[in-house]
């Protein structure tokens, strides 16, 4: 099955790191004058209010890159990509001669093609699972929990992902993983329930637990035990 050979754990882990970036912004914006100045400096628009944007486009590329490098996100992602390269090309996936490629450049080009195809599949799979966990089975009237996530999971970008539309920016995903839409979706959900004032409300945490339990069951149904264990380890 498709889920058996796709390690979506990396997108959830990296999304959580992005949510932690947002949480740091909130903490420092409401902290000392120096912390606040550092926080505002990370934003493209230099917003002096306490508002913390959850769009990666609102922050400088250098600050996002520094955060992800500090969290060693590249390693998490690369391990997942290498696992897929092994599945796609076999144990000699790093040897251009044994694979019949002309040179290292030709092999690198093949790796990039395989990696992007894999990330596109991961992006759609995770987006679909999160969407279905919240809105399936559908009903005529949204529950309060569903309404809170409408802005994150019911928009034109998510609709395009679910239709398997081509993302013109997907070639940037390898160097800038924070641009992967599914990673951003999970970061926003995580931030919504844990990074902001909603976390103080018991009902909100119960809603998140329900959402994650459905995601867990969906992955178990698809036999993706690795991700199921990861989610359970995060104490749904």
DSSP 94-147: T-HHHHT-SSHHHHHHHHHHHHHHHHHHHHHHHHHHHHHHHH-S--SS--HHHH
Distance in angstroms (rounded) separating the CA atoms of residues 208 and 216: 12
Q: State the angle between helix axes of 9-29 and 181-190 in degrees (0 to 180), rounded to the nearest 10.
A: 50
Q: How many CB atoms lie within 10 A of CB 97?
A: 11
Please compute the mean of the pLDDT values over residues 194-213 and round it to a whole number.
53
Backbone angles phi, psi at 179, to 5 degrees: -85, -5
The stretch 152-172 carries a mean pLDDT of 86
Give the burial string for 190-218 (b: 16+ CB within 10 Å, else e). bbbbbbeebeeeeebeebbeebbebbbeb
Question: Which residue range(s) make up the domain with 108?
Answer: 2-233
DSSP state of 167: P
Q: Is the peptide bond before 166 cis (omega within 30 degrees of 0)?
A: no
- 143 pLDDT more than 80: no
Separation between Cα atoms, residue 219 and residue 133, nearest integer Å:
11
Two tokens, residue 166: 């081509």
- Cα–Cα distance, 198 to 75 (Å, whole number): 32
Q: Residue 200 has what pLDDT?
A: 41
Closest listed residue to residue 189, CA positions, set 3, 38, 33, 11? 11
| Number of domains within the chain | 1
What DSSP assignment string belongs to 63-104?
HHHHHHHHTTHHHHHHHHHHHHHHHHH-TTTT-HHHHT-SSH
166: confidence class by pLDDT, cuts 50, 70, 90: confident
Q: Which residue has the higher pLDDT, 24 or 236?
A: 24
> In the structure, what pLDDT confidence band is assigned to residue 192 with cuts at 50, 70 and 90?
confident
Q: Which two tokens stand for residue 133?
A: 């966990």
Least confident of 54-68, 128-142, 175-189: 128-142
Longest dimension (CA), the chain: 60
Task: Specify which of 5-9, 18-22, 197-201, 209-213 reaches the highest per-range mean pLDDT.
Answer: 18-22
């Amino acid at each position: 099955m498709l889920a058996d050979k796709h390690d979506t754990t990396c997108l959830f882990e990296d999304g959580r790191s992005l949510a932690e970036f947002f949480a740091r912004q909130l903490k420092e914006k409401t902290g000392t004058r120096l912390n606040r100045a550092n926080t505002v400096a990370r934003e493209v628009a230099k917003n002096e209010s306490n508002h913390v944007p959850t769009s990666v486009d609102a922050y400088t590329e250098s600050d996002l890159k520094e955060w992800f490098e500090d969290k060693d996100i590249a390693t998490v992602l690369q391990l997942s990509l290498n696992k897929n390269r092994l599945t796609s090309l076999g144990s000699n996936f790093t040897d251009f001669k044994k694979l019949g490629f002309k040179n290292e450049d030709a092999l690198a080009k093949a790796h990039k093609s395989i990696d992007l195809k894999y990330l596109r599949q991961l992006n759609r799979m995770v987006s679909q699972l999160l969407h279905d966990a919240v809105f399936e089975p559908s009903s005529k009237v949204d529950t309060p929990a569903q309404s809170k996530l409408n802005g994150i999971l019911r928009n034109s970008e998510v609709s395009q992902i679910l239709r398997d539309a081509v993302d013109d920016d997907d070639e940037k995903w390898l160097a800038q993983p924070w641009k992967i839409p599914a990673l951003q979706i999970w970061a926003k959900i995580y931030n919504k329930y844990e990074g902001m004032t909603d976390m103080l409300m018991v009902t909100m945490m119960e809603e998140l637990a329900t959402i994650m339990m459905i995601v867990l069951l969906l992955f178990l149904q698809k036999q993706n035990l690795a991700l199921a264990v990861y989610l359970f380890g995060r104490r749904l």
